Structure 1
Amino acid sequence: MQYQGVLKKMETEMGDPIQYYLLFEGDFLNVNQVLNKEIKIQFIGYQCLNCGADRPIYRQGFCQSCFFDIPSAGDWIMRPELSTAHLGQEDRDLEYEKKVQLQPHIVYLANSSTIKVGVTRKSQVPTRWIDQGAHEAIEIVEVPNRYLAGITEVALKDHVADKTNWRKMLTNDVVDENLVEIRNNLKQYLPDEALEYYIENNKETHLEFPVLQYPTKVKSLNLVKTPNYQGALKGIKGQYLIFEDNTVFNIRSNEGTVIALEIS
């Protein structure tokens, strides 16, 4: 089987285990079905996910000029507390910002390498947890806009981590935690504006990833430095492909890269 096209983050479907799909123009691959098979990955070039130009990718699948121009790469994406659409104030494109920011958002706890707090649109649950490689997660609050979610996350960062240790996540060096208890302990630190949106009676969501063998020591594949790679696929977790030789390939951080993929 051969595929060629620009990488975008894998689409996922909740299941036991989670199902992963790589989408190419006019074609797709259920990645779960090629576990234990040899995969060849060849770097061909770049294709900005916004303008389509063959320029080096800067961040989030965009070339540098697009990243600093388009509304979907505004600072409020990574820092929700900077959202201003609820005030009618534009960052780059107010109509776009209203569409994204003025909808229900979830502040959650996820356990991927350690307990972390995060923010996502309600429509992105559980996709966001899957992308982070969390094996368990729970909602803390459901608020009506991104700004409220952002200030809630900022308030909780003083008491729980807000980053994932991706190496620890990929080696599966994690332990189960009582997320209900941790969530309840964090309630006292919620900002007053978010307190009425606290979720009292929900349960943890557990996620099962399709991994046959975890790496013992992670080696990250950089396609620019290593434009041709071949290995046996042993697992998928978060947005990473895990290979038998301990190599891991982050699909999300390589969005906008054009590749050829061969499966034997």
Structure 2
Amino acid sequence: MQFRGQILKMSSYNAEPIQYYLNLSGDLIHMNELLGKTLSIKHDGYQCVHCGHDRQIYRMGFCKSCFFESPYASDTIIRPELSTAHLGIGERDLDVEMKIQLQPHTVYLAYTGDVKVGVTRNSQIPTRWIDQGATFALPIARTENRYEAGMIEVALKNHLADKTNWRKMLQDDFEDEIDLADFQQKIREYFPDDFQKFYSEGEEMWKFDYPYSKPEKVASFTLDKNPEFTGRLIGIKGQYLAFEGGNFMNVRGHEGYVIELEIS
């Protein structure tokens, strides 16, 4: 079986275990069904997720020019505290930024090998947590826009990590329940005074089950350095495909790459 297309991040469905679908130019390939099968991946060019041109991907699936011009790659995507749409001030495209920023957001704690704090649009729950490979996640604040959530995150990340350590996430095999509610209580004092009204207590904690077992070793590869790869798929966690021998491919890190995929 063969496919060819532009990689987009895997879609997921929260089940037991989580169901994953690789998106190749709109063709959805059910990856859970491929566990135990051998995949041959060949890098065959690029297709920017914004302009669609065959230009080398710079970051987040964008070519270099689109990364610095597209509102979908603006600084507020990474740093929500920089949002200004609530003030009617645009960074790159106010109409687009209003759609992204002026909607309900959640500040959360997640366990991804360590406890971390993060921000997501409500519409991205639980996808955001699955993409990060979180074992547990707990909402701790509900805000009306992206700026408010970002300001809470800024205050809390002085005391908690705000990024996922991918190695710890992939090497972690923690199965007992992490008491994220206890972490929430401990950091409540660090909420900015003006944002205490967004604090949310008694939220349901989410737990996720991945089609994955902890490997003996973890080594990631990229198609830039290894344009042709063949391996037996043995697990999936976050946006990582786990191959026999401890080789991992970050699918989201390859958005915009065009590949030929052969399954045997």
TM-score class, shorter? over 0.9
Moved over 6 A (4+): none
2:208 corresponds to: 207
After TM superposition, give the deviation of residue 174 of structure 1 in Å: 4.3
Mapped partners of 1:19, 1:198: distance in 2: 32
The 5 A counterparts of 1:130-169 are 130-169=130-169
RMSD (Å), alpha carbons? 1.1
Structure 1 residue 197 displacement after superposition: 1.6
2: CA distance, partners of 1:9 / 1:254: 8
Report the equivalent of 2:180.
Answer: 179
Counterpart of 2:125 in structure 1 is 125
Amino acid at match of 1:37: K
TM-score, length of structure 1 as denominator length: 0.97
SS of the counterpart of 1:177?
coil
Q: Residues 255 and 25 of structure 1: is their aligned pair in 2 closer, same or farther, counting only changes over 3 Å?
A: closer
Q: Are the aligned partners of 1:148 and 1:193 in contact in 2 as well (CA < 8 Å)?
A: no
Name the residue aligned to 1:254.
Answer: 254
Q: Which amino acid aligns with 2:165?
A: N
- Of residues 163-172 and 99-108 in structure 1, the stretch that sits farther from structure 2 once superposed is 163-172
Identity score, percent: 53
SS of alignment partner, residue 182 of structure 2: helix
State whether residues 9 and 22 of structure 1, in contact with CA within 8 Å, keep that contact through their aligned partners in structure 2: yes
Deviations 1:136-176 (A, max 9, x none): 00001010000000000000011111111101111225464
User: Is 1:214–1:235's contact at 8 Å kept on the other side of the alignment?
Assistant: no
Query: Aligned with 1:10: secondary structure?
Result: strand
Deviation (angstroms), 1:218: 1.2
**How far, CA to CA, are the matches of 2:12 and 2:26 in structure 1?**
18
Aligned position for 2:92: 92
Deviation at 1:27, TM superposition (A): 2.5
Question: What residue in structure 1 maps to residue 59 of structure 2?
Answer: 59
Q: Distance in 2 between matches of 1:186 and 1:66?
A: 38
Note the C-alpha offset of 1:192: 2.1
Displacement of 1:224 in angstroms is 1.6
- Give the SS at the match of 1:196: helix
The whole-number CA distance in structure 1 between the counterparts of 2:106 and 2:95 is 22
> What is the count of residue pairs matched by the alignment?
263
1:199 Cα offset (Å): 1.2
2:30 match: 30
Alpha-carbon spacing, 1:241–1:215, altered in 2? closer, same or farther (3 Å)? same
TM-score by length of 2: 0.97
SS of the equivalent of 1:33 reads: helix
Cα distance in structure 2, aligned partners of 1:57 and 1:24: 16
Partners of 1:138 and 1:103 in 2: CA distance: 19
Q: Decide whether the 8 Å contact of 1:105 with 1:145 is kept in 2.
A: yes
**Cα deviation digits, residues 98-142 of structure 1 (max 9, x gap):** 111000000000001100000000110110000000000000101
SS of 2:152 mapped into structure 1 = helix
The CA distance in 2 between the partners of 1:217 and 1:258, in whole Å, is: 28
8 Å CA contact 2:7, 2:25 repeated in 1: no
Partner of 1:198: 199
Pairwise CA distance, 1:202: 1.3
Counterpart for residue 45 of structure 2: 45
